[in-house]
Amino acid sequence: MARLDLETVATRTRDQELQEGDRAATKMSTSGGLRPATEPSPGISFGEPLFVLRDLSFWYGNKPALADVTMAFPVNRVTALIGPSGCGKSTLLRCLNRMNELIPGVRLTGEVTYHSQDIYASDIDPVEVRRRIGMVFQKPNPFPKSIYDNVAFGARVNGYRGDMDELVERSLKQAALFDEVKDDLRKSGLALSGGQQQRLCIARALAVGPDVILMDEPCSALDPFATLKIEDLIRELVEDFTIIIVTHNMQQAARVSDFTAFMLAGEDGAGRLIEYGPTEKVFTNPEEQRTEDYITGRFG
Amino acid sequence: MTRTAFDQQLEFIQQEMLALAMQVERAVERSMTALTEGDMALAHQVIEDDAKVNEKRYEIEEKCLELIARQQPLAIDLRTIASVLHIAVDLERMGDHAEGIARVALMMKDEPPLMSYAGVQRMAEIARRMMLSSLEAFKDRDTARARSICDEDDQVDALYDEVYHELLVLMTEDPKKIERATHLTWVAHNLERIADRVTNICERTVYLVEGKIEELNVSKY
């Protein structure tokens, strides 16, 4: 099975990405464009698209969950997916690393490319896709193992041959957890607080070497302080990773994301992309009345 | 879904802002009457009332900040509150300009009129009319009207030029008139500032409706 070819991407510089993003952003039109319809503010450019979705539709059995979603997610940016329950945002997120396939009876049409490669192509290994595109869930779910083993788990499964101690320490540092646990890495992951467990899950995801972290409501089970800590971490991680986050908390989307996509289910129950733009634009002056109604709490 | 309590509070801050505007408009009118008719009691009244204008501005500001803290407003709600905050500040400063005119009236109480007040009266008339229309435009969310009001600022600027030159001539001709003429230039200047701040209100209306912050009229002064 084919490995995902990442060589071409690795050699790109951030400047190249930004320049291309700016050029492309000025060409964007409201309809049918992959990128946000409005131009980003001077501080943030769209950059290189990492994922490109074309006419993505998705069904759970006969039930449509997504209809004709066409959009791109930029590299090294935080993109937030917002919308009411049942709008398809979590489904969309799970389409990005083939997580939905684990559910029987699902069907997908359209295209999802990652680094310009179709991740649903027949020769692509879904396990490799999920290694490159990590995921963090709503409820922290550490394994009933030590902190060390939690982080080392994926790397061991993948036959990692480097210095495991170094990898564990680096991953825990990247997840802003190392200083809190360094004295007892043998302690069970389950003995940590909720916020620490979630950061442990982030460290575990980072240890297998992804370049994307998908986050599905990562703070909904956490207290406000632990939430802000994760949000700070997100802003640090985006220097090195691409982050896509589903959140019900609009203030959180406003705080952490660079771009925001608003989704809404149609009468057929299928989620559609309603508006996609720079976060500060979406939250201060959205283009669509439906976005306005939702974010000002006058929805439905 | 509705947000009845929040909607009522949003309505409340706008009503309070309009009430503040009425206080300020009356202050401008009274300060000019005090000046042109030499009504010192009225001048004192304007100065005294300015404290109430300031107080109301701070009340509005506090209410806006409270809404931001408690309701985390977004989009149109956020723009409404931001606009009210800005306009309240502009109105309060316009009140200060009216107070300034009242103080000039007091300084000139024992002096015979230096010149016809027609020019400054005309400036005050246009400025007050602009102010009232700008608030109507705000209430009606009428951006076309907000934009057209700003063009009237040019008339005020032109009148300011005229009055200023007239006073310069008086000063050059007779140095004894310098002090009184200078006081009158302050009046004209304050009126020019008031009209200029009306354009700020119009800019906030455009921001409120369209989400764009743009300068509608670059004042000559």
Within a domain: residue B104?
Answer: yes
pLDDT value of residue A26: 34
Asked if residue B218 belongs to a domain, the reply is no
- Domain hosting residue B179, numbered range: 4-210
Interface test with chain A among B67, B71, B76, by most A beta carbons within 10 Å: B76
Which residues of chain A have a Cβ shorter than 8 Å from any chain B Cβ? 250-251, 254, 283-286, 291-292, 295-300
Give contacts of A250 with chain B, Cβ < 8 Å. 74
Q: Tell me, what's the pLDDT at A298?
A: 87
pLDDT digits (tens, 9 = 90+) for A80-133: 999 999 999 999 999 999 999 889 999 999 999 999 999 999 999 999 999 999
Q: Give the pLDDT band of residue B135 (cuts 50, 70, 90).
A: very high
Residues with Cβ within 8 Å of residue A37, at least 6 apart in sequence: A28, A29, A30, A275, A276, A277, A287
> In angstroms, rounded to a whole number, what is the distance separating the alpha carbons of residues A160 and A48?
30
Do residues A283 and B73 lie in contact, with contact meaning Cβ atoms separated by under 8 Å?
A: no
Q: Is the pLDDT of residue B99 over 80?
A: yes
Q: Is residue B197 part of a domain?
A: yes
Q: Which of residues 182-211 of B touch A (CB under 8 A)?
A: 210-211
- Evaluate whether A128 touches A8 at the Cβ level (below 8 Å): no
Asked if the structure places residue B61 within a domain, the reply is yes
Look at chain B and report how many structural domains it folds into.
Answer: 1
Residue A54: give the domain boundaries: 7-295
- List average pLDDT for each run of 10 residues in chain A, which is 300 residues long: 46 43 37 59 74 97 97 97 96 96 93 96 93 95 97 93 96 96 97 96 96 96 92 96 96 96 96 96 94 88
Distance (Å) from the alpha carbon of A284 to chain B's nearest alpha carbon: 4
CA distances (Å), origin A148, targets A169, A218, A295, B106: 9, 21, 41, 81
Q: What is the pTM of this model?
A: 0.83
Is there a domain that residue B36 lies in? yes
Domain count along chain A: 1
Collapsing DSSP to helix, strand or coil, A223 comes out as coil
What's the gap in Å between the CA of A97 and the closest CA on chain B? 32
Q: Tell me which residue of B5, B4, B13, B135 sits closest to B62, measured CA to CA.
A: B13
B74/A299 touch (CB, cutoff 8 Å), yes or no: no
A273 to chain B nearest CA, in Å?
Answer: 19
Give domain status of residue A186, yes or no. Answer: yes
Runs of H (alpha helix) within B38-177 = 40-71, 75-107, 118-140, 143-173
Q: How many other C-beta atoms are found inside a 10 Å radius of the C-beta of residue A116?
A: 11
Instruction: Give A63 to chain B, closest Cα distance, Å.
Output: 26
- The HSE-up count of residue A289 (CA atoms within 13 Å, CB side) is 1
Residue B219 lies in a domain: no
Q: CATH number for the domain including B54?
A: 1.20.58.220
Q: How far apart are the first and last CA of chain B?
A: 48
Give a yes or no: residue A283 inside a domain. yes
List of residues 6+ apart from A108 with CB closer than 8 A: A56, A57, A58, A59, A95, A100, A120
Q: What is the CATH number of the domain that holds A173?
A: 3.40.50.300
Which of B74, B207, B210 to probe by mutation at the A interface, max A CB count within 10 Å?
Answer: B74
Residue A135 confidence (pLDDT): 96
Q: First-to-last CA distance in chain A?
A: 47
Q: What is the pLDDT of residue B1?
A: 60
ipTM > 0.95 for the complex: no
DSSP label at residue A55: E
A3 phi and psi angles, rounded to 5 deg: -85, 150
Is residue A121 a part of any domain in this protein?
yes
